[in-house]
Chains A and B, each alone.
Chain A
Amino acid sequence: MKVVAKQDSTPASAASRKLVSVLDLDGRADPEQDPRLELSLVKRIYEAMVRTHLIDARLMKLQRQGRIGFHVGCEGEEATVIASSAALREQDWIFPCYREVGGALYRGLPLQSYIDNMYGNSNDTAKGRQMPDHVTARSVHFASITAPIGTQITQAVGFAWAAKIKKQDLVTVTYFGDGATSSNDFHAGLNFAGVFQTPTLFLLRNNGWAISVPADHQTHSRCYADKGIAYGVPGVRCDGTDALAVYAVTRAALERAANGGGPTLIEFVSYRTGPHSSSDDPSAYRDTAETEEQAKRDPIKRLRRYLERQNAWSEADQTAVEERLQAELNACIERAEATAPPSIASMFEDVFEDMPAHLLEQQAECVNGPRTRKRH
């Protein structure tokens, strides 16, 4: 797939590099850049973006109502997350940050499984041990979401390196934020990937902010994609709010990696239109004017306009999709709320393969001990 860099149109950049983009703000595709994806694929990507958006809105509401403890979503970054995940092959693996659950859903993670995780109930695959949104989904090749910033990056390199040693045909992609480029693991990960030429894509979501720290305070590099240079890893800058560009750039890097061409660092320039998480209030540190300006790049609207221009989407389609998703969500939430918390005994499991004597003792002490009046 050929991708040619185009004039930078984002405000986020005084950078040297060209920004790859396909769609303008009203969904017109640049004919020279248009990857000409099958409309059925574009629709699938679009529906998944809408789905992620609706799920985020609903989960935030549930958090405000005290029905779940926490939520971190990907508002404004739907194209970055979904279109890049869509570009992967089934055998490829994702080593996620915490905003990419939409990618797991796209790859077939049942919504119920995600919602059970949000409630930390006994059906949660992580057995209620992790905060909400810390999903693990082996069935869709989605490694465990971890909170410590950057740690997944080196792991993705190791997984791909093992695949190279085992002669497996797979690529790993790892997502992380602009803030994570300051972490130890970002640098170690790029360096190892460069030295050992592992089939790894570094998908950097530059959403403008690391909680309250703006992206231009995080680095003195001209742009984030430049950070590959020191490690001999090619860097690409792509409009992260443009689903078609995201798909095309990811797919090209993936094919290169799969064919022995080594790693790529892709900087997706987008914007976190929402708060960092349900715990955050951005009014303390950023202007609403900036958010309003950036909201014009709304990735969902742009892709919808593209589909409408092809006569491939209508208001009726939209309503049908939204109604279907809401009904599905309602059912999942109802079921998750009716599911019991994990058993107290389970708290002591999975520390080791076999439970050692000291944990057997503590498990018995806890299970048979006094109970708190606090709810779980």
Chain B
Amino acid sequence: MTQMNMVSAVNDALRIAMQNDERVVLLGEDVGKLGGVFRATAGLHKEFGGDRVIDTPLSETGIIGTAIGMALNGLRPIPEIQFGDFIYPAVDQLINEAAKYRYRTGGDFVCPMVVRVPVGGGIRGGHYHSQTPETMFIHTAGLKVVCPSNPYDAKGLLLAAIRENDPVLFLEPKRVYRALKMDVPEGSYLVELSRAKVVREGEHVTLVAWGAMLLEAIAAAEEVKEQGIEAEVIDLRTLWPVDTETVVESVKKTGRMVIVHEAAKACGLGGEMVAQICEKAFTHLQAPPRRVTGWDTPFPYTLENEYLPLAHRIVPALTETARY
């Protein structure tokens, strides 16, 4: 075991994947000599050389399009998009190409690649360095979407994602990057995709979250404990395909659900989960399911802590839902 933060856990997973599988290559802006603007690829250029840790010209569509080509020819590319906010020039390649290759070729061509994308706010980044563009990638068929909340899961999920034979979008919450350290096993281990985790048991209300907001959810759960409310906190970990079953089982027990996400409310994964709960556990519900999310505005700069669904906004949602 080694104490690691999320950046070093990601770095460790990448190193292990590169050591174990020479098909793995990294490419992106500043990932080489600098080791990435968040240092997630630090030291890898030196260890594996410029043919496997590639500094690209400044073009996201170039990065993703060529990664698709590499994947089609048998490599396992791990492209990095420097900030989630800058993924849009590559959206055509991601949504129309990577996500559709398997389907449109009758399963003949596949694009195994893991697109690493730092996301989220809380770092004083304003609109262009804080977005969480998960919804559109969940909505389009053919992409898996993963978002860890802690260093242990980050490493295990990333190693599992690299083994996938489908394209995976790996969203890394910047706010968590250096926020906490925990014991992380040395060497390889896997955290299975599409498996949510009950991280705190409780009987009164189910609280679903992921990524940076999981820490806020736990803080809120601790706060309402003083009022005698026990929240069961679930970390979704993989956003798509989502583990509905774990959430349904919990809601059958608690009869109540609050779901938290940083992305805007409209059409977010919260709405999808509420719909699924209504379809699959309606008769168990004792209160209307609640969403606590980013507002349907662009991400602001000065007021970012008013935009984010932090613990102070989760707490009243929990108490009201529990006492409904």
A87 within 8 A of B: no
Across the interface, name the chain B residue whose C-beta is closest to A348.
B297
State whether A213 touches B55 (Cβ < 8 A): yes
- Which listed residue, A217, A347, A351, A372, touches B310 by the CB 8 Å rule? A372
Q: Chain B 5-34, CB within 8 Å of chain A: the 1/0 string?
A: 000000000000000000000000110111
Most buried by A among B300, B302, B316: B302
State whether B125 touches A212 (Cβ < 8 A): no
State whether B129 touches A372 (Cβ < 8 A): no
Please report the C-alpha to C-alpha distance between residue A121 and residue B303 in the assembled complex, in whole angstroms: 10
Residues in A with CB closer than 8 Å to B295 are: 347-348, 359, 362, 366
State whether A279 touches B37 (Cβ < 8 A): yes
Across the interface, name the chain B residue whose C-beta is closest to A148.
B86
Please report the C-alpha to C-alpha distance between residue A134 and residue B302 in the assembled complex, in whole angstroms: 13
Within 8 A of B (CB), among A306-350: 341-342, 344, 347-348
Residues in B with CB closer than 8 Å to A179 are: 57-58
Within 8 A of A (CB), among B45-87: 55, 57-59, 61-62, 85-86
Residues in A with CB closer than 8 Å to B109 are: none
A294 within 8 A of B: no
B301 within 8 A of A: yes
A166 within 8 A of B: no
- Which listed residue, A121, A213, A284, A373, touches B312 by the CB 8 Å rule? A373
Q: Chain A 208-227, CB within 8 Å of chain B: the 1/0 string?
A: 00111100011100000000
State whether A366 touches B306 (Cβ < 8 A): yes
**Contacts A148-B85, A213-B30, A359-B296 given; does A342 touch B58 at CB 8 Å:** no
**Contacts A212-B33, A285-B34, A376-B303 given; does A131 touch B128 at CB 8 Å:** yes
- Which listed residue, B57, B85, B86, B298, touches A129 by the CB 8 Å rule? B298
Within 8 A of B (CB), among A107-150: 120-121, 128-131, 134, 146-149
State whether A148 touches B88 (Cβ < 8 A): yes
A291 within 8 A of B: no
State whether B128 touches A120 (Cβ < 8 A): no
A374 within 8 A of B: yes
**Contacts A285-B33, A344-B303 given; does A351 touch B312 at CB 8 Å:** no
A180 within 8 A of B: yes
Across the interface, name the chain B residue whose C-beta is closest to A212.
B34
- Which listed residue, B55, B128, B297, touches A148 by the CB 8 Å rule? B128
Residues in B with CB closer than 8 Å to A183 are: 58-59, 89
Residues in A with CB closer than 8 Å to B37 are: 211, 279-280
**Contacts A347-B306, A348-B297, A358-B266 given; does A129 touch B126 at CB 8 Å:** yes
Within 8 A of A (CB), among B269-320: 295-298, 300-303, 305-307, 310, 312-313, 315-316
State whether A131 touches B57 (Cβ < 8 A): no
B139 within 8 A of A: no
Q: Within the complex, what minimum Cβ distance (angstroms) separates B318 from chain A?
A: 12
Residues in A with CB closer than 8 Å to B35 are: 284
B124 within 8 A of A: yes
Q: Within the complex, what minimum Cβ distance (angstroms) separates A341 from chain B?
A: 5
B127 within 8 A of A: yes
**Contacts A134-B126, A211-B37, A376-B302 given; does A347 touch B57 at CB 8 Å:** no
Please report the C-alpha to C-alpha distance between residue A374 and residue B57 in the assembled complex, in whole angstroms: 39
Please report the C-alpha to C-alpha distance between residue A369 and residue B290 in the assembled complex, in whole angstroms: 15
Instruction: Name A residues whose Cβ lies closer than 8 Å to a Cβ of B.
Output: 69-70, 120-121, 128-131, 134, 146-149, 179-180, 182-184, 210-213, 217-219, 279-280, 284-285, 341-342, 344, 347-348, 351, 358-359, 362, 366, 369-374, 376
Q: List 7 A-B contacts (CB under 8 A).
A: A121-B302, A130-B126, A147-B128, A148-B88, A212-B33, A213-B58, A217-B55
Known: A131-B128, A369-B313. 20 other contacts (CB 8 A): A70-B124, A128-B300, A128-B302, A129-B300, A129-B301, A129-B302, A182-B58, A184-B59, A212-B33, A212-B34, A213-B55, A213-B57, A213-B58, A279-B37, A284-B34, A359-B295, A362-B295, A362-B297, A370-B312, A370-B316
Give the top 7 A-B pairs by smallest Cβ distance, nearest first.
A128-B302, A147-B128, A212-B34, A131-B126, A182-B57, A120-B302, A179-B58
